[in-house]
Amino acid sequence: MNLLIKNVNIVDCCENFYGDIYIEDGKIKEIGQNICKDCSILDGKSYKLLPSFIELHSHFRDPGFTYKEDIYSGSRAALKGGYTAVNLMANTNPVCSDKEVLHYVLKKAKDNNLIDIHQCLSITKNMEGKSIDHLDDIKEEDNIRFISEDGKGVLSSKIMLEAMIKAKKKNITIICHEENPELSEISMRLAENIMTLRDIELSKCSGCRLHIAHVSTEESMKYIIDAKNEGANITCEVTPHHIALTEETYYRVNPPLRKEKDRQFLIEAIKKGYVDAIATDHAPHSKEDKIQGAPGLIGLQTSFMVCYTKLVKEGHISINKLSEMMSYNPGKIMGLNKGRISIGYDGDVILVDTDTEYEMKEEYIVSKSHNTPFIGFKGFGKVMATIRGGEILYREEGI
């Protein structure tokens, strides 16, 4: 698929200039000005062209909970939000602990052929916290980049250390949901902080690459900062909702929305370069599930608007820095040839309108679930078109 995008403000983690970009056979082939090609042409108008976003942390609920979301609806939501690659968590039904479930997900992703999908395996068999024997079956050709127990933490320190040792041998990163279940009913803050510190120390001991999911407290981020300053093999993510909201919003997520001091500390950590990625923790639930107390929110369609508004428009960081955290760094962590607008990279790019204020409305949502506190949120940064490998897979009317 060949495509020429003209007259556009090209922005990535390093660049910010006006010009044209030519995508040939799915790859970025040429960048410059006044490029002429005999192919499909897209006028960039007054928009910005960014690398597509890469999501390290999502739940598409397939298999087992497809009334909440499935591979197709989740992929459509990703495209509308500017994402062309996502990493899915293992807490499906059955749990993704074996290759049968893994191949089911990857086949559906291939059949839909909308976005690139990576599926995590669970750290422990069936997420029961007892056995890690299933990890022995992982072969290099399976291309498993991550294992994760997201949804809860692994209580046993011994089992977690053993899992990290195996992961290091297989060149796999562990994504940790930092929550000690023994402390959850006492203090969710303490549950996150204690588990974060433990897993950092286990990572240092084992040498395993550790990616810490949805950091939400000041204390946990301080532990991560200290470890990074010591050279630990650790990356971390924060979510748009922990950047934008506080406990005063009264919306149930896990980890919970925190205090204003936590939100401000996360932003300071972003500004100082300690946060590697923005990840949504896209967690669809039905209306009935939310009424019954299920934690989580959908985030793929709102993430850029929320982050651009709260981080860039409010003057905390540049759009280049935001692109680094939403595209370049996640691509690097996932080992993808995406995340920059540079010759040889995949032709996965998006057009965004950062000049017009936009209100998120429920009727715009294409996920099966509508659980988000951002309905009614007004901000800047609307995704106007999403292009994967030079093919326009989503576009707003008039593009």
So which residues are the catalytic ones? Answer: 281
As a whole number of angstroms, the distance between CA 347 and CA 397 comes to: 22
CA angle 304, 371, 288 (to 5 degrees): 170
Round to whole Å and give the CA distance between 147 and 296.
21
Joined tokens for residue 134: 């299933």
| CA nearest to 345, candidates 119, 81, 111, 50 | 50
CB 135 within 8 A of CB 147: yes
Round to whole Å and give the CA distance between 151 and 158: 20
* Among 151, 223, 207, 213, residue whose Cα is nearest residue 176: 213
Single-letter residue type at 29: K
Residue 117 to residue 106: CA distance in whole angstroms:
7
Q: Considering Cα of 80, then 82, then 86, then 91, what sign does the dihedral take?
A: negative
